[in-house]
Amino acid sequence: LRAREQMQGQLALARVIAERDQLEIGVRLLPGSWQFLRFRSADRQWEIMADESAFKVKPYDGLALSWQDADAKAAAVSNERKGLIPDFMLMSSGEATPGIIRFDAANDARGLQESLTLTDIGDAVATESLKSDAAEPVSSYATDDARAPR
């Protein structure tokens, strides 16, 4: 929950900075943490925003982060690609890569899964759900039941 709240606040700030300073800002998910990146147009490379204290992240032991693009069918686990490549971006135009960031804690016996939904305009909306290995509950209405909504 703390990790989700921290990221949500940082994403809101990054969105403002991206538009104000006309920067492309990326977020790279790591096991137990994340990094904010800025795109240098001069050499077309990403760099860690190490000079911005608001974007420093302490590691969260036992936390697994995953990203799922809005149009993808499966989530990608914490970025294990070589080099500084963001999982998603906040752009200078005010747009963002829409999708879902999931926060799974290995030591959470309740099965609570925190997530942030990132909209195409960069809003990060908090959601939570219970993990379930069971099948989805079936509606109490049968398809041939006269009470079933039409």
Give 25-52 pLDDT, tens digit per residue: 999 999 999 999 999 999 999 999 999 9
Task: From 77, 121, 91, 94, select the one nearest 26 (Cα to Cα).
Answer: 91
Residue 102 CA: distances (Å) to CA of 4, 46, 75, 120: 9, 23, 9, 17
Widest pairwise Cα distance in the chain? 67
* Phi, psi for 144 (deg, rounded to 5): -100, 5
Residue 77 pLDDT:
63
Give 111-127 pLDDT, tens digit per residue: 668 899 999 989 999 98
Give the whole-angstrom CA distance, residue 44 versus residue 68: 25
Predicted TM-score (pTM) above 0.85? no
Task: Round the average pLDDT of the chain to a whole number and report it.
Answer: 83
Is the distance from CB of 88 to CB of 96 less than 8 angstroms? yes
What are 143's two structure tokens?
């398809």
